[in-house]
Chains A and B, each alone.
Chain A
Amino acid sequence: MRILVAVKQVPDTATQVKVSADPRVIDTTGITWIISPYDEFAVEEALRIKEKRGQGEVVAVSLGPERVKEALRACLAMGCDRAIHLNDPAWSDADTLVTAKALAAVVRQEAPQLLLCGRQAIDDDMGAVAAQLAELLGWPCAYWVMEEAIDADTKTVRAARQVEGGLEVFDLPLPAVLTAQKGLNEPRYPTLRGIMGAKKKEIRDVKAADLGWAPEPPQLSVVTLEALPPRPPGRIIQGDVPTAVKELVRSLREEAKAI
């Protein structure tokens, strides 16, 4: 069974993101890049499926500039068998739909039985690519998956997705798209052996032309990025308790509009 995992490289959660001189993009100097955490759950799940079945192939795929190789190498170090890098300036301003179309072209070439993604990337939080991929491919799709089990003859996957207060369980015919929610698993750390082994694995560069890609302008484009205004400082309400409580309730209701 072949499983494709789509991963996005994003700034580390600890990064203080700053808007650059061009207000449509962030300043990337000094940023450490990581695999988006939900995508890491997807990679881990793919590896577990393969390990449980004792056979199969896990392929990591990512769209982005040269630095994305580092994320793909990390996937290989975790245990993915090979990786595909959609690496072409033609995609430099790709929106989610352009990204999904490019990935769909790769999925058609690779013909996996399962496509795993994260429930959303933690940089722009769009959460759209997996659904768009499913639509483009005509595959069923379940988001926010907490548990999955593929049946013995690889015909269907039973997926339990997180809903308010419980789980919602679906049987999806394969091939299908699943997106990983936190709680699906605990991703492994790449070991030194995995890291050394990754050096020998293939990362295939794919250009737009390799997919027969006719450049198309993105339908979404960022107008401007704005930092949140700094949080106003806290206020200590003075006075005796009865007056202070009245003032607290008043400001919670009228100023903070919290009650």
Chain B
Amino acid sequence: MTAGIFSDEHAMLRKSIRVFVEKEVAPHVRAWEDAGQIPRTFWRRLGALGFLGLEFPTEYGGGGGDFLSSVVLGEEMARCRSGGVAFSVLVHTDMSSPWLTRFGTDAQKRKYLPRIISGESVCALAITEPGTGSDMAALATRAERRSDDYVLTGSKMFITNGVYGDLYFVAARTGPGSPERRHDGLSMFLVERGLPGFTVSRKLDKMGMRASDTAELAFVECPVPAANLLGTEGRGFQQLAEGLQRERLMAAVLALSGAAQALEDTIAYLRERTAFGEPLAARQALRHRVADLATELEAARQLVYRAATLYAAGEECVTEVSMAKLFATEVANHVAYDAVQMHGGYGYMREFPVEGFFRDVRLWTIASGTSEVMREIITKRLL
């Protein structure tokens, strides 16, 4: 997995994170899955080890690394056998806070980055609403300028890290779009937990990713200081679209690395389990299925690495990222289905990690842009 696009330094970072995940994450994920949340102490530990600020500038306490360092983080976190733990961590590091380094002012970075990097402030991204998800331009949460504040009213749905988070990257409408330019008039805000009028309406109960908390949020006349506008007023859609490339790559990385782990677990199981007088691993029907899955995984991985390389180089890569997100998350679901199947009745039991992966990975063709939305993006560029 380390050949090709990764350097010796990435390999060392991988080793560090792998040992950490084995020693300090994997033994606890079952308890965190049951609790439906990750302890604060874990966030602080991640921060102390520098894993929450791999790419952030060193002057704020970050690691000054490149995008592939984050890919390594995603791949190794996903091997803890809890999709939810990896998801929550990567929402913090890659699906929310990078907007701050990309679009934030110096004052905003000085105020928030050190706490994000140390794990003191857990971040969430709030775009989706009860009434709209895929159609981002239809967002209805309003932000009205009143003297020194933007006053937010509306609600947000399916927000990861939303129940226990501290800092929310919220998309809201500051002005109307036009029928021709529906996505005009959106803006992004840094919203701190505890502002008046901002509440967690409920913690959502879900199929998988159970260690990561998911919230519905309500904003009722919530005054957000104007200094917390992130980037340019009215350019929210464009800013979001830019950041979503990273988010989609990470979704693909998490899904694939989890699938690689599930396939490894399955191979070990096939070696161990005997039926009809020999190990299941001796059955050609199963051997060939393993070969097909490994081949699909490798093809998906190369597509993801290709998109990641373009993204890291700052090149135009929307088509490649969309293809990688589409293909990798569908392949990962295929692997999950077959991994459960090859475990027989045990694959359906909670005590076997493939059961959890099967539920967790189902998210990835939906969140961060559905497979249908990926196809829309790809075809728009083709015809």
A contact set with B: CB distance below 8 Å: 70, 73-74, 77, 189-193, 195-196, 198-199
Q: A-B pairs with CB below 8 Å: how many?
A: 41
Which chain B residues border A73 with CB–CB below 8 Å? 8, 12
The CA of A70 and the CA of B11, in the complex, are separated in Å by 10
CA distance A158 to B15 in the complex (A): 34
> Which residues from A are CB-within-8-Å of B13?
190, 192, 195
Question: Which listed residue (B9, B49, B54) contacts A189, Cβ 8 A?
Answer: B49
Q: Is the CB of A191 within 8 A of B16?
A: yes
Partner of A196, one of B20, B49, B64: B64
For chain B, give the interface size range: 10 to 19
Chain A residues with CB under 8 Å of B64's CB are: 192-193, 196
User: Could you tell me the distance in whole angstroms from the C-beta of A174 to the nearest C-beta in chain B?
Assistant: 32
Evaluate contact between B63 and A191: CB separation under 8 angstroms. yes
Main SS at interface, chain A = helix
Which listed residue (A70, A77, A190, A196) contacts B65, Cβ 8 A?
A: A196
Among A73, A74, A191, chain B packs the most CB atoms within 10 A around the CB of A191
Question: In the bound complex, how far is the Cα of B10 from the Cα of A77, in angstroms?
Answer: 12
State whether A191 touches B12 (Cβ < 8 A).
no
* Smallest Cβ-Cβ distance to A77: which chain B residue: B12
Chain A's nearest CB lies how many Å from the CB of B54? Answer: 5
Q: Is B50 an interface residue (CB 8 A)?
A: yes
**Is B65's CB under 8 angstroms from A189's CB?**
no
Chain A residues within an 8 Å CB radius of B268:
none
Q: With contacts A73-B8, A196-B9, A196-B64 known, what are 15 further pairs, Cβ within 8 A?
A: A73-B12, A74-B12, A77-B12, A189-B17, A189-B19, A189-B20, A190-B12, A191-B16, A191-B49, A191-B50, A191-B63, A192-B54, A192-B64, A192-B65, A195-B13
What separation, in Å, do the CA atoms of A105 and B8 have in the docked complex?
31
Across the interface, name the chain A residue whose C-beta is closest to B9. Answer: A195
Docked Cα-Cα span, A190 to B20, in Å, equals 10
**Residue in chain B with minimal CB distance to A199:** B9
16 CB contacts below 8 A, A to B, read A74-B15, A77-B12, A189-B17, A189-B19, A189-B20, A190-B16, A191-B49, A191-B50, A192-B13, A192-B50, A192-B54, A192-B63, A192-B69, A193-B63, A195-B12, A196-B65
Find residues 46-71 in chain B having any chain A CB closer than 8 Å to their own CB: 49-50, 54, 58, 63-65, 69
